[in-house]
């Protein structure tokens, strides 16, 4: 499994029951970006990764385990 696939799997799991729209707004990213990240069709930037980890209250490393 490559890094984008690990990120996608962990994002979906950590988002839980929240809709993509709600989680994207909470994280300060677009829903389209979240959709592409969760489908492993887009790489993330450090800025976006930082926004997501703050929203999830976790470290970057936790999203790539």
Q: Where in the chain are the domains?
A: 3-64
Q: What pLDDT is stored for residue 1 in this prediction?
A: 82
DSSP 38-63: HTT-SPPPHHHHHHHHHHHT--GGGG
Q: What pLDDT is stored for residue 41 in this prediction?
A: 95
Q: Among the CATH numbers 1.10.1060.10, 1.10.260.40, 3.40.605.10, 3.40.50.2300, which is that of 3-64?
A: 1.10.260.40
Q: What pLDDT is stored for residue 28 in this prediction?
A: 95
What CA–CA distances, in Å, run from 38 to 6, 12, 28? 9, 6, 16
- Name the average pLDDT for the chain: 94
| Rounded-to-integer distance, Cα 47 and Cα 7, Å | 15
User: How many C-beta neighbours within 10 Å does residue 29 have?
Assistant: 20
pTM of the model: 0.88
Q: Are 59 and 7 in contact (CB under 8 A)?
A: no
- What is the per-residue pLDDT across 38-53, written as a single tens digit (0 to 9) for each? 999 999 999 999 999 9
- What is the per-residue pLDDT across 11-32, written as a single tens digit (0 to 9) for each? 999 999 999 999 999 999 999 9
């Amino acid at each position: 499994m490559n890094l984008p696939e690990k990120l996608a799997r962990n994002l979906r799991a950590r988002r839980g029951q929240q809709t993509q729209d709600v989680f994207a707004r909470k994280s300060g990213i677009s829903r389209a970006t979240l959709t592409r990240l969760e489908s492993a069709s887009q790489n993330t930037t450090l800025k976006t990764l930082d926004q997501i980890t703050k929203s999830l209250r976790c470290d970057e490393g936790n999203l790539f385990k």
